[in-house]
Amino acid sequence: NAGVTQTPKFRILKIGQSMTLQCAQDMNHNYMYWYRQDPGMGLKLIYYSVGAGITDKGEVPNGYNVSRSTTEDFPLRLELAAPSQTSVYFCASSYSFYEQYFGPGTRLTVT
C-alpha cells in the first residue's frame, strides 16, 4: 500500500492564482481530512469528509474548497491565493476513530 499520497510536494504561487492540491489514499478509508500547519504551530483542520459526496468545514475553511467524488481522492482547491495561505498542507485519512494516517505534505508559498 502506498498509504496517503500528496502532490505536488512544493509549489510557489503568485497572489491571485489558483491551484488544486491532490490527495489520494489506497486504504479504502471513509474519513479524509485536510490540515494546514503554519511555522512553529500545530495543525489546523481546513475541511473533512466522512465519505464520498459528503464534506464539511473545519476550523479554517475560508479561501478553500473541497470535493469528494470517490473514496480514494480528496482534492483541496485554493481560489485567489493570498500570502496568508503560505503553509504546509497535510492530507490524512482514517477508517474510524483510532488512527489517522497522514501524507508527506505539500509546502506552498504565495508571493
Partner 1 sequence: DAKTTQPNSMESNEEEPVHLPCNHSTISGTDYIHWYRQLPSQGPEYVIHGLTSNVNNRMASLAIAEDRKSSTLILHRATLRDAAVYYCIPLNSGAGSYQLTFGKGTKLSVIP
61 beta partners:
none
Interface positions, 40-59, toward partner 1 (CB under 8 A):
40-45, 48, 50, 56, 58-59
Q: Which residue reads 481522492 in cell numbers? A: 73
Q: Which is nearer to partner 1, 8 or 16 (CB)?
A: 8
- Give the nearest distance from C-beta 48 to partner 1 in angstroms: 5
Separation between Cα atoms, residue 13 and residue 57, nearest integer Å: 24
Cβ contact 46:60 at 8 Å: yes
Within positions 60 to 89, which residues make up the interface with partner 1, using CB under 8 A? none
Rounded to 5 degrees, what angle do the CA atoms 33, 25, 60 make? 15
* Binding of partner 1 by 94 (CB under 8 A): yes
Which residues lie near partner 1 (CB under 8 A)?
Answer: 4, 31, 33, 35, 40-45, 48, 50, 56, 58-59, 90, 92, 94, 96-105
